[in-house]
Amino acid sequence: MRFTMIAQFVNIVAVVVGSVLVTSTVALAEAAKSVSEPVGSNLLETPVGLKNDVKFWERIFSEYTPEECVFHDEWNLDAVYYVAPVPRTANSSGSHLLKRHLKSIRAALSNLALRGEPFSAFERGIVASIPERLRNRKFYTIAQGQVRCQRGVEFQKSLNLSQQYIPMIKQTLREKGLPADLAYLPHLESGFNRFATSRVGAKGLWQFMPSTARAEGLVVKRNKDFRTDPVRSTDAATDHLASMFLRAKSWELAITAYNYGENGVQRAIQKFGPDYMKIRTEHKTRMFGFAARNYYPSFLAVRNVAMRDEVRLATRDSRKSISRSGENTSADDTVVTF
């Protein structure tokens, strides 16, 4: 009788633990889905006209390697011709293999501009890769000068390093009433390497230039550089971002200014008004090129990828915790008496 009751108790515990595991897993899965388009007052939403670009950058940061080239149109990031392995070289102008790919795509677009219809299997593949709205001779003509290679990004190291800094950064943002999403900006700036130094002298998690760092109250000397101090530099960076937001009146423009420069963004605002999407498409200068134009969608992309990774880790830890609880319960069953 005693052993029968123990067996019944073990079955009940198994059902409860299983139910908790399923409930937790479902809840976390739902959270993962929501990251594709975050909502909430403390999250930065993706402008409607930017969704395709954000998806492009999400794939760059999560699916492709630095040894792969994603051949695409510079202005229409949903026009991805194909992906091919292209080893990196020390030559800044690119490898012969890279040049052959670019030449082949441009030749196909040239033929399509002349004939309007694909002739070869390669050209049919190019047409199939282009969104239907762009399948016309005008686009084929313009696109010949807009073909580029975007390499994938090795993002896992940045995700790993970020775990020791994200809680502190989010706490600082909460205290200042700033969006929590800003905590993911160092993914783009430094890969969360607090000792990262750029070729032009930017340094730290937030990649402060010496002059900007000093203006925000950071000590920058040969033997003492607060740019590499995560807490001090985060305090300065969040103040700097808040200041740019007050001037630009939008987080899209403030975050763009963090990369492009505040003066450049203010000149664009004077010309086009505080409309991020208009500035992004119509503001064309030598400095406001592909990288600056895509800084904000890249930021949203790394935010999304990082948040999905946080959900993945939470799911893993939840399962481990529930599993350990089940094991402990099973061990205790041996001494249960009724």
More confident residue, 233 or 9: 233
Per domain, the residue ranges of the chain are: 2-45+310-330, 64-151, 156-300
Biggest distance spanned by C-alpha atoms of the chain: 88
Is the pLDDT at 8 greater than 90? The verdict is no
Letter string b/e over residues 195-224, b meaning 16 or more CB atoms within 10 A of that residue's CB? ebeeeeebbbbbbbeeebbeebebebeeee
pLDDT digits (tens, 9 = 90+) for 150-161: 999 999 999 999
Rounded CA separation 120/126 (Å):
10
pLDDT of residue 325: 65
Rounded CA separation 190/193 (Å):
5
Average pLDDT, whole number, for the chain? 86
Q: What is the pTM (predicted TM-score) of this model?
A: 0.81
Q: Return the bridge partners of 73, or none.
A: 147
What is the topology classification, in CATH, of domain 156-300? Lysozyme (1.10.530)
Tokens in use for 7? 């067996």
Q: Using CA of residue 219, residue 205, residue 149, residue 95, what is the dihedral sign?
A: positive
pLDDT digits (tens, 9 = 90+) for 42-92: 679 899 899 999 999 999 999 999 999 999 999 999 999 999 999 988 765
Across 84-98, 271-285, 288-302, least confident range: 84-98
What percentage of residues in the chain have a pLDDT greater than 90? 76
| E strand or H helix that includes residue 83 | strand 80-85
